[in-house]
Structure 1
Amino acid sequence: MVALELIDPDPRLHASWVEVVAEFGGVGAHMHGSGWLFEEFADLSLARLERLVEQLRRDGEGLPWTGGVVKCDYLWIVEGDEMVGFLALRHSLTDALRRDGGHIGYAVRPSRRGEGIATRALGLALDRAAALGLDRVLLTCDDDNQASWRAMLAHGAVLEDVIDGKRRYWIPTSR
């Protein structure tokens, strides 16, 4: 079994990225944790991916849509040369992120769901959050997203509340 890793977005995985985008629905797809929530993927060329990766590097220096400037690490969840999902680790919270988004967002490609990938990737993200000096992180998910909140509970998540159909959990980074 190939180890699951979190890596910086890498155009060398272009073919796998194209497959992932297609699985999420292609043009206009909503891919949590990708940094491309509103991007339309009509152009799936290598050149376009290279531009998107460069944009993520720039955007990682600050996320103005969050209601403030928040540094974010955009990461790909991979097994070997296969991209299996997206993960975003935000270094701090704004009021907007406290309501919806939290410190960590993730998505697993549909064909690989149900394999524990989100749970394992979240564990890796918690290690990274601890290395950043965060003693706990906030994660949010839709109330009906049982797979996501089960991944959180596997890491000791504590439900703070449910607001407007969003569950908000705090997870300690030391386990």
Structure 2
Amino acid sequence: MPALTAPAKRLHAAWLASHAEWGPGLHEDGFGLLPEDDVESPAGFEAWLERLAADSARCTYRWITEGELVLGGIALRHEGNNSVDRAGHIGYGIRPSARGRGLGTWALGQMVEEARRDGMDRVLLVCAVGNFASAATIERQGGVRERCRNSGADKVWRYWISLGQPAEGD
């Protein structure tokens, strides 16, 4: 069974295996990884985790895990986070070998519920134009595409998920 797990030092080797599967570069959304982060060394990895924890008022990071495997990452960027307009309130990535299992849809649903509990009215998600798998994941969770827009050289689809509030007792 998958779980959403707070980033943890004990998962260093599992995270590195997931990161290696994506290949070189910083393209795993949902992890909060920056070019200057040293994730290879234990000390660098721990410093990265400390940075993520220190940013918890602006963003909630979770890893999608199954046992001791890191299958992906997902982030809920809170209101006031300067990255929201560019990257959305929620960003996620699933490692290539774990795709097609519904993990993204499941994890997105979990974060949508967290956003609702946090009192948010709606959340923005973005994906690259032509990323039909991500678009379908967002749409399965109620995402409605807003418009196509240029973001530098990248074109993105913007989706809004209206959260409303759960009925009393939910």
> Which band: TM-score by shorter chain?
0.7 to 0.9
- Measured after TM superposition, the shift of residue 113 of structure 1 is 1.0
Residues 131 and 144 (structure 1), Cα distance of their counterparts in 2 relative to 1, 3 Å cut: same
Q: Distance in 2 between matches of 1:29 and 1:91?
A: 22
Q: Distance in 1 between matches of 2:130 and 2:34?
A: 20
Cross-structure match for 2:26: 29
- Measured after TM superposition, the shift of residue 59 of structure 1 is 2.9
Structure 1 unmatched runs, 5+: 62-70
Which residue identity does 1:169 align to in structure 2?
A: Y
Cross-structure match for 1:10: 8
Q: Distance in 2 between matches of 1:148 and 1:114?
A: 11
C-alpha contact (below 8 Å) 1:101/1:139 kept by paired residues: yes
- Measured after TM superposition, the shift of residue 96 of structure 1 is 5.6
Cross-structure match for 1:72: 59
Structure 1 residue ranges, 4+ long, deviating more than 2 angstroms after superposition: 37-41, 45-48, 93-98, 172-175
How much identity, in percent, do the aligned residues show?
A: 41
Q: TM-score, normalised by structure 1?
A: 0.83
Superposed, 1:87-102 pairs within 5 Å as: 87-92=74-79, 97-98=84-85, 100-102=86-88
SS at match of 2:18: helix
- Measured after TM superposition, the shift of residue 94 of structure 1 is 5.9
Residues 96 and 47 (structure 1), Cα distance of their counterparts in 2 relative to 1, 3 Å cut: closer
Superposed, 1:148-163 pairs within 5 Å as: 148-163=134-149
Residues 96 and 33 (structure 1), Cα distance of their counterparts in 2 relative to 1, 3 Å cut: closer
